Amino acid sequence: MTDAAAAGYHCLPIPTPFAVGRVNCYLIEDDPLTLVDTGPNSGKALDELERALAGHGHRVEDLGRIVITHQHIDHLGLVDILARRSGAEVCSLDLLAPVIEHFSEEAERDDELAEALMLRHGIPRDVVSALRSVSRSFRAWGGSSAVAHPLADGSELAFAGRTLEVLHRPGHSPSDTLFHDRERRIVLGGDHLIAHISSNPLISRPLGGKSGERGSGRPRALLTYMRSLRETRAMDLDVVLPGHGEPVTEHAKLIDERFVLHERRANNIAGLIEDRPSSAYELAQSLWGNVAVTQAYLTLCEVLGHVDLLLEAGRVTEHETGGVVRFEPAG
């Protein structure tokens, strides 16, 4: 197996205030010296990042390039501070660039979508209002910066000693991007594939390209994610360097396990719907109890993703009554 550190890829685990724990940023020791993802916008994260860079003999000011894998705040929060201090060029998928450049405005539009979805799928308005306030407060952990180098899907990012292929793999977020070192059989994967947890396909506004929508309906994040996983499964890889946790060394096996997991969850939800036609919020409460209130949007996305598998297979139907959608067995 390829030794990622020996190949110049150094993992820098940076603290976050979120349940997922530390985020893995990566230092690529090449020309230009490159940081992949930044950690959240906090003094603690910046302090630890500076110490991690120093452990490899570098300072923030040495960075020549900052690469962002996707739009979530634990991955891009320090982008502006680092870019201003170092003068590094910021690189991202071209579809992601407007989100990085106008983070607060784009986050507000995602929150508007989330609010509409939560109300449409049975989450009480007081819970929705509380979650909107929490989401607004979280934006302080994010950050904005000009993107000097937008990257098209399928393009290449060149270094003195390597070339990374840019691969759009939406699902966990609409902007998930892999950076593939074909020569060394290494992928910088962001949150596309994580060993110890199944990445939650969060429903967000499509950025174009592979939107994951069916007709004019809401984005089908899990269906999109599973298509992306099939593409990744076919790659010839030694290791996936993930955004959280340990490296993934058997990516095809892990992806197969995830497909089985999603099928099992969908069958579980189908059983609940057969017992009683339900809204997505009612299904989430049946599965997770009070967690469906405290993490209402996360659990809603989880339920809707697996309901989409059932809708795609023709096993359930959806009907709207009084502005709330309920799912029932087909036929």
Per residue in 160-204, pLDDT (tens digit) is: 999 999 999 999 999 999 999 999 999 999 999 999 999 889 999
Give domain 9-329's CATH architecture: 4-Layer Sandwich (3.60)
Tokens matching residue 23 = 């985020």
3-state helix, strand, coil in the chain (%, to 5): 40, 20, 40
Please state, rounded to an integer, the average pLDDT across all residues of the chain. Answer: 94
Residues 6 or more apart in contact with residue 215 via CB below 8 angstroms? none
Residue 137 has pLDDT above 70, yes or no: yes
Which pLDDT band holds residue 209 (cuts at 50, 70, 90)? very low
pLDDT computed for residue 212 by the predictor: 40
Per residue in 250-283, pLDDT (tens digit) is: 999 999 999 999 999 999 999 999 999 999 999 9
Describe the crossing of helices 221-233 and 251-275 by its angle, rounded to 10 degrees. 150
Q: Work out the widest C-alpha separation in the chain, in whole angstroms.
A: 65
Residue 216 has pLDDT above 70, yes or no: no
Give 133: exposed, middle or buried? Use CB within 10 Å, 0-12, 13-18, 19+.
exposed
d(CA 224, CA 304): 13
Which pLDDT band holds residue 211 (cuts at 50, 70, 90)? very low
CB 300 within 8 A of CB 123: yes
What percent of the chain has a predicted confidence (pLDDT) above 90? 91
Residue 55 has pLDDT above 80, yes or no: yes
Element (H, E) at 214: none
